[in-house]
Chain A
Amino acid sequence: MQRRSLIKAFTLSASIAAMGLSWTIQAAETIKVGILHSLSGTMAISETSLKDMALMTIEEINAKGGVNGKQLEPVVVDPASNWPLFAEKARQLLTQDKVAVVFGCWTSVSRKSVLPVFEELNGLLFYPVQYEGEELSPNVFYTGAAPNQQAIPAVEYLMSEEGGAAKRFFLLGTDYVYPRTTNKILRAFLLSKGVAEKDIEEVYTPFGHSDYQTIVANIKKFAAGGKTAVVSTINGDSNVPFYKELANQGLDATEVPVVAFSVGEEELRGIDTKPLVGHLAAWNYFQSVDNPVNSEFVEKWKAYAKAKGLPNADKAVTNDPMEATYVGIHMWAQAVEKAGTTEVDKVREALAGQTFAAPSGYTLTMDATNHHLHKPVMIGEVQEDGQFSVVWQTEGPIRAQPWSPFIPGNESKPEYAVKSN
């Protein structure tokens, strides 16, 4: 109910703004865009802010006159962290609401479940989260990181002198496709770097798992065998009990650093970060990055959160997937302007080579063929205030390798998009 009235209020305000800007535009002539993020269930902790960020970006584009002279009209649905429901809602967005594009999904399992729908109906999905690669659909644009833009540099850093020269690796994840595939890639990478099999441990927990006693005790035991680092691909709200248990059992970042691939500023909002100082996260953007584009972005988001009365608006933070959402929507809008239409095939062509000055401080480019962004990699340490301070970063944006060379058989995969079946 609340959501519906929110959307109503939003479209109303958007249309009023539109009328104010130019009298020639009729309020009825809009482009519908779908927003497909879980607003309840285990993933709500991460995905809710992406929905809000999408709405903010759309409002921003509308305030500048919309796209091709038309206002954007967001259609928000809640797939409730329920993977089959993602496919159902995606179909509803494409066939009933007839949206031109969908921004959505966080977990790879949700993306995998909507993929056949987008390919069948020739829809367009912008996926804003780092993921495991091994996919290159013509109907999806990936604005998050591929493994070589996040996981591999992070592990290289842990192995370096500066990162603590880790010799043993505890790979801990939620039990689904993203952690399993990422860990498969990491295992192959570590083995190629001369790490022995016995120095790699892989452990998985179900979604929403909340009892990390045994696992933290096992990490401690494993760490006694040599300098250890934990690579965490835990997703969703399980991170809160995991980090609480780490802190309570006194596992310090100086002894055993944990580098997380799905924990950002937003997930840390609910935790006291003082005992967690020094644990790491690898992303392509942090709120603490110091540049004018980012200061403006963060300011805008804080003002938006306050104006819309979002929960905990006084502590609003930005994070990497929010930045990727922001960049994705802007790139799509640019491509639609360039193509002059929202037709998927033309927009896809126009997207190749699009550039956008992103809050990460770099001008990001959409690759000409592989549907991924060229992104800089950053590794940040958790600070007392729940922010990250960047301790390492690449010289500049690097190109994504969706087909990781560490998975056998990938050498023959094409570097352009083909339907998965």
Chain B
Amino acid sequence: MPAIYPFLLSLALFLLPLTSEAGEAADFAAASPARQAQLLEHWAATPDPTRQPLLDALQHGRLAVDGARRAFIERDGRLVAAEGDAPPEGTPKKLRLNNRLRGLLATAQASHRLLAEEPEVRLAAARALQKSARPAQLSLLNASLARESDAAVRDALALALANLQLADPDPKIRLGAVRLLGETGEPLARTRLEALLAPDAERDPTVRTAAETSLAQIKRRLLFGELLGQAFSGLSLGSILLLAALGLAITFGLLGVINMAHGEMLMLGAYATYVVQLLFQRHFPEALALYPLAALPVAFLATATVGMALERTVIRHLYGRPLETLLATWGISLILIQLVRVLFGAQNVEVANPAWLSGGVQVLPNLVLPWNRLVIIAFALFVVALTWLLLNRTRLGLNVRAVTQNRNMAACCGVPTGRVDMLAFGLGSGIAGLGGVALSQIGNVGPDLGQSYIIDSFLVVVLGGVGQLAGSVLAAFGLGVANKILEPQIGAVLGKILILALIILFIQKRPQGLFALKGRVLD
């Protein structure tokens, strides 16, 4: 059976280094890609602490080869010969790895790190080996497990070993391995167990039953992770929709202005982020990572100012004339798009994620939550809370609500309705600007950015019920989750169409949306 091959392979690999006189670095540098792969596999099975600098140099692309195929390691910008001290012949070239070698190198690194002093490093190494351990490493893993003192590392190692033990000739060892694998939620363990359960693969009935139980266990865990993942991406999409629509919930929902230029407020917010990023790059490169935070007030103020200017110059003349407002704001949106094209060019601009918004946190073996999405969900909730406080706990909010409910009565009571209109429109635009900052961190920033969000924003506000913040929040998250549940089943394109059709049906049945203001004030 195939179990003998790994053994033969490792035996063959043991014999390899005897054939060469020169050092390992030189060996590697002079080898063909296929032989380099063999060397790495061999190193992975026989870790040696003295090899560590070579592996590090390889991993970070600091190994160079000169004209005579000798190896040099770059240290502090200088090239040092890996073995001996001969000067390089010609200009040494960096040694480039391909994917296969990079994968093998990662495995070799992990088995070398098993020798490290710190338990955390060993733990990370053992976890890496759970995915990538190769049959040739069986004896190494056994030895490491026997030597290991830290309980967590022992567990991780046992699991890495279990993957290899599935091919063990002894049914007892296989049984133990199968049971151990059942405890994990690894997607790979599922594939391995399924392979074991294929007809003719496993003869021993006890191992077979154990494998079936373990497989069912793993499937349950994986399903749990998958559902959580779907819920998370739904929430994430919902938070993006919410940020895009929240400003509109004020300008359209409360003020009743059919604001077609809302998308452009998002776009201006994103461009404000870009400008802040440029300023940071030029003037405070050391604080560059913090630019999205600095962009928040800038984007808010910039878009609020633009919004208030628009309200004073155009929109206030059109109150009560929805059709003209629609056309005028649409015209404004075209003007703003063209303005940005002239100022920044028609191409997308680069808004980079700072390091703290890149990468993700591994929650379950099959679930990674990206930082930028986590931050955006939190940010969306923060903006909702802020808006709610502004509308319900401040004088301005009181005035806004009074004016939207009954303009004449509010004016009679001494509320400066004109000023309140302007401030409310500014607030809505400013919040759209905040949304723009968040959108710049996940998508493209270009003059057309607003166009792709305007429809979704109106959908959210209309579905949520005009005049209601809570409705918009619920509608945004509802749409997000529904979208993400449908997408894997019927695809992104059909999913969107179906959602649209459902919303139209819903609005037919309930024109006022999810939540409606009760009373006589609405006309």
Query: Is A217's CB under 8 angstroms from B370's CB?
Result: no
Provide the residues of chain A in CB contact with B33, threshold 8 Å: 162
Query: Is B233's CB under 8 angstroms from A214's CB?
Result: yes
Decide yes or no whether A24 CB sits under 8 A from chain B: no
Which segment, of A120-128, A198-206, A399-407, A408-416, faces chain B?
A198-206
CB distance from A78 to the nearest CB of B (A): 8
Decide yes or no whether B103 CB sits under 8 A from chain A: yes
Decide yes or no whether B281 CB sits under 8 A from chain A: no
Provide the residues of chain A in CB contact with B106, threshold 8 Å: 254
Cα of A405 to Cα of B298 in the assembled complex, Å = 58
Query: Is B370's CB under 8 angstroms from A162's CB?
Result: no
Cα of A44 to Cα of B346 in the assembled complex, Å = 7
Bitwise, B210-246 to A at CB < 8 A (1) or not (0) is 0000000000000000100110010011001000000
Provide the residues of chain B in CB contact with A240, threshold 8 Å: 348, 443-444
Query: Is B102's CB under 8 angstroms from A253's CB?
Result: yes
Using A40-B447, A211-B237, A224-B187 as known contacts, say yes or no to A237 and B348 having CB atoms under 8 A apart: yes
Interface of B is mostly: helix
Cα of A203 to Cα of B491 in the assembled complex, Å = 7
Cα of A278 to Cα of B188 in the assembled complex, Å = 22
Cα of A249 to Cα of B367 in the assembled complex, Å = 8
Query: Is A45's CB under 8 angstroms from B362's CB?
Result: no
Bitwise, B406-427 to A at CB < 8 A (1) or not (0) is 0000000000000000000000
Provide the residues of chain B in CB contact with A162, threshold 8 Å: 33-34, 98, 100
A229 closest partner in B (C-beta)? B99
Query: Is B61's CB under 8 angstroms from A213's CB?
Result: no
Query: Is B360's CB under 8 angstroms from A250's CB?
Result: yes
Provide the residues of chain B in CB contact with A40, threshold 8 Å: 341, 346, 447-448
Using A1-B342, A45-B347, A237-B348 as known contacts, say yes or no to A210 and B99 having CB atoms under 8 A apart: no
Decide yes or no whether B345 CB sits under 8 A from chain A: yes
Provide the residues of chain B in CB contact with A218, threshold 8 Å: 488
Decide yes or no whether B359 CB sits under 8 A from chain A: yes
Query: Is A381's CB under 8 angstroms from B98's CB?
Result: yes
Query: Is B100's CB under 8 angstroms from A213's CB?
Result: no
Decide yes or no whether B493 CB sits under 8 A from chain A: yes
Bitwise, B332-371 to A at CB < 8 A (1) or not (0) is 0000000001100111101011000011101000101011
Query: Is B99's CB under 8 angstroms from A278's CB?
Result: yes
Cα of A204 to Cα of B493 in the assembled complex, Å = 8
Provide the residues of chain B in CB contact with A214, threshold 8 Å: 230, 233, 484, 487-488, 492
Decide yes or no whether B190 CB sits under 8 A from chain A: yes
Provide the residues of chain A in CB contact with B99, threshold 8 Å: 163-164, 253-254, 257, 278, 280, 381
Provide the residues of chain A in CB contact with B102, threshold 8 Å: 253-254, 277-278
Query: Is A250's CB under 8 angstroms from B493's CB?
Result: no
Cα of A42 to Cα of B444 in the assembled complex, Å = 10
Decide yes or no whether A343 CB sits under 8 A from chain B: no
Cα of A211 to Cα of B103 in the assembled complex, Å = 29
Decide yes or no whether B372 CB sits under 8 A from chain A: yes
Decide yes or no whether A192 CB sits under 8 A from chain B: no
Cα of A258 to Cα of B484 in the assembled complex, Å = 23
Q: Identify which of A209, A213, A270, A389 contacts B373 (C-beta below 8 A).
A: A213
Provide the residues of chain A in CB contact with B345, threshold 8 Å: 311
Using A209-B492, A253-B102 as known contacts, say yes or no to A270 and B190 having CB atoms under 8 A apart: no
Bitwise, A245-273 to B at CB < 8 A (1) or not (0) is 10111100111010000000000011010
CB distance from B347 to the nearest CB of A (A): 5
Provide the residues of chain A in CB contact with B373, threshold 8 Å: 213, 248
Decide yes or no whether A361 CB sits under 8 A from chain B: no
Decide yes or no whether A345 CB sits under 8 A from chain B: no
Bitwise, A214-245 to B at CB < 8 A (1) or not (0) is 11011011001110000000000100110011
Decide yes or no whether A22 CB sits under 8 A from chain B: no
Query: Is A226's CB under 8 angstroms from B360's CB?
Result: no
Provide the residues of chain B in CB contact with A250, threshold 8 Å: 359-360, 362, 368
Cα of A225 to Cα of B484 in the assembled complex, Å = 23
Provide the residues of chain B in CB contact with A203, threshold 8 Å: 491
Decide yes or no whether A359 CB sits under 8 A from chain B: no
A211 closest partner in B (C-beta)? B237
Provide the residues of chain B in CB contact with A41, threshold 8 Å: 448
Provide the residues of chain A in CB contact with B346, threshold 8 Å: 39-40, 44, 48, 78
Decide yes or no whether B247 CB sits under 8 A from chain A: no
Decide yes or no whether B269 CB sits under 8 A from chain A: no
A269 closest partner in B (C-beta)? B350
Residue picked from B98, B102, B359, B373, most chain A C-beta under 10 Å: B98
A139-188 interface (Cβ within 8 A of B): 161-164, 175
Provide the residues of chain A in CB contact with B448, threshold 8 Å: 40-42
Decide yes or no whether A208 CB sits under 8 A from chain B: yes
Provide the residues of chain B in CB contact with A257, threshold 8 Å: 99
Decide yes or no whether A421 CB sits under 8 A from chain B: no
Decide yes or no whether A96 CB sits under 8 A from chain B: no
Bitwise, B427-456 to A at CB < 8 A (1) or not (0) is 000000000000000111011100010000
Decide yes or no whether B96 CB sits under 8 A from chain A: yes
Decide yes or no whether B142 CB sits under 8 A from chain A: no
Q: Identify which of B100, B236, B360, B446 contacts A237 (C-beta below 8 A).
A: B446
Provide the residues of chain A in CB contact with B341, threshold 8 Å: 40
Provide the residues of chain A in CB contact with B139, threshold 8 Å: none
Provide the residues of chain B in CB contact with A241, threshold 8 Å: 442-444
Provide the residues of chain A in CB contact with B61, threshold 8 Å: 384
B87-111 interface (Cβ within 8 A of A): 96, 98-100, 102-103, 106
Residue picked from B229, B236, B342, most chain A C-beta under 10 Å: B229
Decide yes or no whether B191 CB sits under 8 A from chain A: yes
Provide the residues of chain A in CB contact with B98, threshold 8 Å: 162, 278, 381, 391
CB distance from A43 to the nearest CB of B (A): 10
Query: Is A247's CB under 8 angstroms from B359's CB?
Result: yes
Decide yes or no whether A2 CB sits under 8 A from chain B: yes
Provide the residues of chain B in CB contact with A42, threshold 8 Å: 448
B441 closest partner in A (C-beta)? A244
Cα of A383 to Cα of B73 in the assembled complex, Å = 19
Cα of A118 to Cα of B34 in the assembled complex, Å = 51
Bitwise, A372-404 to B at CB < 8 A (1) or not (0) is 000000000101100001010000000000000
Provide the residues of chain A in CB contact with B236, threshold 8 Å: 213
CB distance from B44 to the nearest CB of A (A): 14
Decide yes or no whether A79 CB sits under 8 A from chain B: no
CB distance from A44 to the nearest CB of B (A): 5
B46-67 interface (Cβ within 8 A of A): 61
A214 closest partner in B (C-beta)? B487
Cα of A42 to Cα of B360 in the assembled complex, Å = 28
Residue picked from B230, B342, B347, B484, most chain A C-beta under 10 Å: B347
Q: Identify which of A247, A253, A312 contacts B358 (C-beta below 8 A).
A: A247
CB distance from A379 to the nearest CB of B (A): 10
Provide the residues of chain A in CB contact with B360, threshold 8 Å: 248-250
Cα of A278 to Cα of B98 in the assembled complex, Å = 7
| Interchain Cβ contacts under 8 Å between A and B, 15 examples | A2-B342, A39-B347, A40-B447, A48-B346, A78-B346, A205-B492, A220-B187, A224-B188, A245-B370, A248-B370, A250-B360, A270-B350, A272-B353, A278-B99, A381-B98
Q: Can you list the 6 inter-chain pairs with the closest CB atoms, starting with the nearest?
A: A224-B187, A248-B370, A254-B103, A213-B233, A40-B346, A210-B443
Which residues of B come within 8 Å of A, CB atoms? 33-34, 61, 96, 98-100, 102-103, 106, 131, 187-188, 190-191, 226, 229-230, 233, 236-237, 240, 341-342, 345-348, 350, 352-353, 358-360, 362, 366, 368, 370-373, 442-444, 446-448, 452, 484, 487-488, 491-493, 496
List 17 other contacts, CB 8 Å, given A213-B373, A221-B366: A44-B347, A78-B346, A162-B33, A164-B99, A204-B491, A204-B492, A208-B452, A213-B484, A217-B229, A237-B348, A240-B443, A248-B358, A248-B360, A248-B371, A250-B362, A269-B350, A381-B98
